[in-house]
């Protein structure tokens, strides 16, 4: 670094000497000084700030698990502690109209990655056909999940799968979690989380279509699984704050590697 600065200093001296030979050298020297200030001071500060601000967004390995005419599935990770024997999957995008809940969960996982003690993977379900249609879009996402997400999570021996959803207030409880098969590790995890995460009670939604395609098959395959519903009919910063509590709460669970494996 010292050698580089000495070289730069000598270069500036030579340039100043050359500039003084011109008629309007004072104006030129002024502009030259401003340029040097920008290169030497402002740009390094900008680079440091940019790297600090976006460091959590550095891309993790991604793998396309499946591709259909109506959508595709991508697996991304690891995040958190990649050496942890405990692996947790977040399933994102099964119901495409609930995208604010999905976005908040993804951002929180990435932003908190350096603080996690467990290892995390994101499973993105990207519905490209009829994503705005309530019934067709949901079904497309559910089929993609059943065909590609469930087999991969089962094969990779995850210790927990969290299916992330969002509700606009159609249920009597706005923020909640549950497991569709109320027994074993899945129920233990769900109940423990209700004690860890303030304002997130256990509530079995009366109408829920995704468990049949995702969490129920996972549990039947020996993978503990829960459904998390966040309240999305509010400003995004509140959704993200709400999801942050849940994401951090999952990392506080007292896990042991899944004994089924």
> In the numeric block, which tokens belong to residue 248?
């951090």
- Residue 124 · residue 190 · CB < 8 Å: no
What is the CATH architecture assignment of 61-251? 3-Layer(aba) Sandwich (3.40)
Q: Residue 36 pLDDT more than 50? A: yes
DSSP string, 32-84: HHHHHHIIIIIHHHHHHHHHHHHGGGSPPPEEEEEEETTEEEEEEEEEE-TT-
Q: Residue 190 pLDDT more than 50? A: yes
Helix (H/G/I), strand (E/B), else coil: 15: helix
Instruction: Name the residue with higher pLDDT: 257 or 123.
Output: 123
Determine the Cα–Cα distance for residues 27 and 47; give it in Å rounded to an integer. Answer: 29
Q: What's the chain's average pLDDT?
A: 83
What number of other Cβ atoms are within 10 A of residue 213's Cβ?
A: 22
Determine the Cα–Cα distance for residues 250 and 127; give it in Å rounded to an integer. Answer: 27
Which residues are 90's β-sheet partners? 122, 162
Q: What is the pLDDT of residue 7?
A: 54
Q: What is the pLDDT of residue 17?
A: 62
Q: What is the pLDDT of residue 165?
A: 93
Q: What is the pLDDT of residue 55?
A: 40
- Residue 145 · residue 165 · CB < 8 Å: no
Give the confidence band of 259 by pLDDT, cuts at 50, 70, 90: very low
Give the confidence band of 256 by pLDDT, cuts at 50, 70, 90: low
**pLDDT tens digits, 104-140:** 999 999 999 999 999 999 999 999 998 888 889 999 9
Q: What is the pLDDT of residue 12?
A: 55
**pLDDT tens digits, 53-75:** 334 456 789 999 999 999 999 99
**pLDDT tens digits, 11-28:** 556 655 655 565 555 555
Q: Tell how many helices (H) and how many strands (E) occur in the chain.
A: 9, 7
Q: Which of 159, 160, 164, 158 is nearest to 145 (CA)?
A: 164
Q: Which of 231, 224, 235 is nearest to 245 (CA)?
A: 231
Query: Where do you find CATH 3.40.630.10 in the chain?
Result: 61-251
Task: Write down the residue that tokens 């011109």 correspond to.
Answer: 22
Q: What is the pTM of this model?
A: 0.76
Give the confidence band of 6 by pLDDT, cuts at 50, 70, 90: low
Q: Residue 77 pLDDT more than 90? A: yes
């Amino acid at each position: 670094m010292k050698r580089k600065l000495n070289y730069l200093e000598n270069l500036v001296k030579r340039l100043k000497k050359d500039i003084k030979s011109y008629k309007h050298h004072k104006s030129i020297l002024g502009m030259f000084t401003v340029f040097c200030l920008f290169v030497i001071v402002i740009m390094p500060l900008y680079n440091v700030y940019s790297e600090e601000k976006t460091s959590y967004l550095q891309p993790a390995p991604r793998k396309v698990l499946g591709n259909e005419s109506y959508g595709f599935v991508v697996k991304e990770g690891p995040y958190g502690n990649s050496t942890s024997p405990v692996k947790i999957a977040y399933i994102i995008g099964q119901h495409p109209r609930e995208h604010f809940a999905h976005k908040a969960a993804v951002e929180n996982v990435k932003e908190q990655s350096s603080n996690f003690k467990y290892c995390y993977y994101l499973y993105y379900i990207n519905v490209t056909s009829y994503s705005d249609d309530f019934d067709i879009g949901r079904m497309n996402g559910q089929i993609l999940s059943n065909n590609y997400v469930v087999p991969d999570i089962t094969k990779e021996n995850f210790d927990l799968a969290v299916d992330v959803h969002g509700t606009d207030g159609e249920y009597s409880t706005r923020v909640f979690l549950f497991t569709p098969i109320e027994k074993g590790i899945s129920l233990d995890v769900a109940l423990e989380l209700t004690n860890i995460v303030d304002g997130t009670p256990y509530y079995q939604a009366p109408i829920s279509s995704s468990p049949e395609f995702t969490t129920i098959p996972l549990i039947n395959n020996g993978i503990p699984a829960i459904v998390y519903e966040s309240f999305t009919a509010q400003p995004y910063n509140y959704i993200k704050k709400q999801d942050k509590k849940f994401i951090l709460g999952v990392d506080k669970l007292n896990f042991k590697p899944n004994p089924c494996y």
